[in-house]
Amino acid sequence: MSDPRSSTTDAPRLAVLGAGTMGHGIAQVAAMAGYETRLFDLLPDALDAARTRIESNLDNGIARGKVTPEAREQALGVLTFTSRLIEAADGVEIAIEAVPEKLDLKRQVLGACAEAAAEGAVLATNTSSLSISRIAEGLPGPERVVGMHFFNPVHIMALVEIVRGAETSDETVARTRGVAERMGKTPIVIADSPGFASSRLGVALGLEAIRMVEAGVASPEDIDTAMTLGYRHPMGPLKLGDLVGLDVRLDIARYLHGALRSPVFEPPALLERMVAEGRLGRKSGEGFYRWGEAGQLPTNPSE
């Protein structure tokens, strides 16, 4: 792996902690924005996969005329990969955690990062539903802990939710807004409430779509078409669930159901069964759709 401290760039330093579906995308847009970006994951295979996907995204951007060859080389030139958390966090001004939606894991990763990052560094979490205030509990400098919720695919989606915890400072919110805008994103500021704004609405829609499949109302493909053509959503809720990961959807639904005590968020039996069977969406090759090699968009809904 490349040593993240070997870069000679004067760019601001940023760490992305976790190289999965969201992490590799955040690292890509950070590098394209000119940040000296260190992407961390414990698993070397995850880092290799992240590198491949970032390069593929950039190559596709060139093919579509959205990215210049020079921008591609600039981004890859400031992007390094490491399986050592302390190396990734060493001296960074902002760290963005993108590990699975487990409260203790997020606290552990951000706590370790806080010890190595620059004094006063922003500690951001990409959580889509967990409480920012609870994540910040016990961390040094809770005023610098903030939610920075990106949307998948990160290099295409323009929105970033900035979520203010109980102790998040105005300075932290302002700095985080500046990072998002430098990445070319449109930030909105949300209070720390279960599901924030987007997840609360999006999960409610996605779970209802699953219930419709469960009840035989329509096929996944036709339900998604209803939302893309009827409501101009860029992607239907079932295809989006496959893309995010049905296991992730289930974790968020369970959390919101417990936090809000609303039947709207009670996980459908079909979702529980699909996750138990390992049908997790794109990452497993099958969910509501069958996904081909390299996770390309599906052509046929699953049976």
**N- to C-terminal Cα distance for the chain?**
42
Bridge partner list, 15: 38, 95
pLDDT in tens, 93-141: 999 999 998 899 999 999 999 999 999 999 999 998 889 999 999 899 9
Compute the distance between CA of residue 50 and CA of residue 224 in angstroms, rounded to an integer.
Answer: 28
Mean pLDDT of the chain: 92
Averaged pLDDT for residues 291-301: 59
**pLDDT tens digits for 129-176?**
889 999 999 899 999 999 999 998 899 999 999 999 999 999 999 999
The reported pLDDT for the residue numbered 293 is 63
- Domain ranges for the chain: 4-191, 198-295
CATH homologous superfamily for the domain 4-191: NAD(P)-binding Rossmann-like Domain (3.40.50.720)
Superfamily of domain 198-295: N-(1-d-carboxylethyl)-l-norvaline Dehydrogenase; domain 2 (1.10.1040.10)
Helix 198-214 and helix 246-260: axis angle, to 10°? 110
Is the pLDDT at 6 greater than 70? The verdict is: no
User: Which of 137-141, 146-150, 217-221, 227-231 has the lowest average pLDDT?
Assistant: 137-141
